[in-house]
Amino acid sequence: MITIGSHLSVSAGYAAMAEKMAGDYKGNTYAFFLRNPRGGKMKAPEEADLERMQEIRRANAFGPMVAHAPYTMNPCSAREDIRDLARQMMAEDLAQMERMAALSPEEPIYYNFHPGSHTGQGAETGIQETAEILNRVLDPDQKTTVLLETMAGKGSEIGRSFEELRGILDLVERKKAEHLGVCLDTCHIWDGGYDIKDDLDGVLKAFDAVIGLSHLKAVHLNDSKNPRGAAKDRHEKLGEGEIGLEALRHVVQHPALQGRPFILETPNDDAGYRKEIALVKSWIRE
């Protein structure tokens, strides 16, 4: 069975997210921000709300959740205060993730973040700084797997190439790196220059050679408003962008990607998400 869902708002609570996904969208996973995506203060969830969420997820045979770090979190800013804030936010977020993990210790749980923008320091320095924060924040005994997201390369973003992500992974201490993985965003790698439309096999082969497919834990399934290599990062609804439905169907059906949660981050309303989730499910049922 495919694991498919979308990003959801946590504003009505944690159980409400699981309920909305199961009952309204008919999916079986979701992503969410633990705090305002711009980074504000964290409101720690009530234990009863988390327990209720896990009950709903179990009753509906959900796949793993994929939480998303705030967009503004920049672990490799040239400014030290911004890096400190990133470290603090990640540590706080991971503490909450561990509360959720403790309620379902047998299943994987993911926390996805953007490796950051080096803001002029150069990619190599950026890679070192992001790895340093991971070394400080990761705990060898944690249950949460932290995912580096593949990026479009907008501005000074690091993580546009598989090699840059590999560079970060290589600098994290072994015991801690066991809790790291990668989340592949189809819009981002397309905007970053990878041709998933005409050479999906080749792209996945490159991923395997540089990072290793066993590290690929989740997929963000998005079309792109821009042509390949644009380095822009503007998501589009499935089939309405430059990647197109056919290529996205091949991504969902690719043997090397089975078993991963697929998360939609497309510009949709409720009806649009219902439709896209049903469509993606139909691709696997065939």
Residues that bind Fe ion (CB under 5 A): 149, 185, 220
Q: How far is the CB of 233 from Zn ion (least distance, A)?
A: 4
- Residue 170 is which amino acid? D
Q: How far is the CB of 128 from Fe ion (least distance, A)?
A: 22
Give yes or no for residue 157 binding Zn ion (CB under 5 A).
no
Residue closer to Fe ion by CB (options 129, 185) is 185
Residue closer to Zn ion by CB (options 223, 233) is 233
Residue closer to Zn ion by CB (options 31, 97) is 31
Residue 233 contact partner, candidates Fe ion, Zn ion, none, CB within 5 to 8 A by sort of partner = Zn ion
Q: What is the dihedral of CA 191, 193, 196, 201, to 10 degrees?
A: -150
List, in order, residues 6 or more apart from 114 with CB less than 8 Å away.
Answer: 69, 71, 73, 149, 151, 157, 159
Residue closer to Fe ion by CB (options 93, 149) is 149
Separation of alpha carbons 72 and 184, rounded Å: 19
Residue closer to Fe ion by CB (options 56, 260) is 260
Residue closer to Zn ion by CB (options 54, 224) is 224
Residue closer to Zn ion by CB (options 129, 233) is 233
Neighbours of 208 (CB within 10 A): 15
Q: How far is the CB of 207 from Fe ion (least distance, A)?
A: 16
Q: How far is the CB of 217 from Zn ion (least distance, A)?
A: 17
Give yes or no for residue 236 binding Zn ion (CB under 5 A).
no
Give yes or no for residue 276 binding Zn ion (CB under 5 A).
no
**Cβ burial, residue 1 (10 Å; 0-12/13-18/19+):** exposed
Residue pointed to by tokens 């706080």:
92
Q: How far is the CB of 156 from Zn ion (least distance, A)?
A: 16
Neighbours of 108 (CB within 10 A): 17
Give yes or no for residue 223 binding Zn ion (CB under 5 A).
no
Q: How far is the CB of 92 from Fe ion (least distance, A)?
A: 19
Selected binder of Zn ion within 233, 238, 241, 273 (CB under 5 A)? 233
Separation of alpha carbons 125 and 171, rounded Å: 12
Residue 220 contact partner, candidates Fe ion, Zn ion, none, CB within 5 to 8 A by sort of partner = Fe ion
E strand map for 132-260: 145-149, 180-185, 216-221, 223-224, 235-236
Separation of alpha carbons 149 and 162, rounded Å: 10
Q: At CA 275, angle to CA 272 and CA 280, rounded to 5?
A: 125
Q: How far is the CB of 188 from Zn ion (least distance, A)?
A: 6
Q: Which residues bind Zn ion (CB under 5 A)?
A: 233
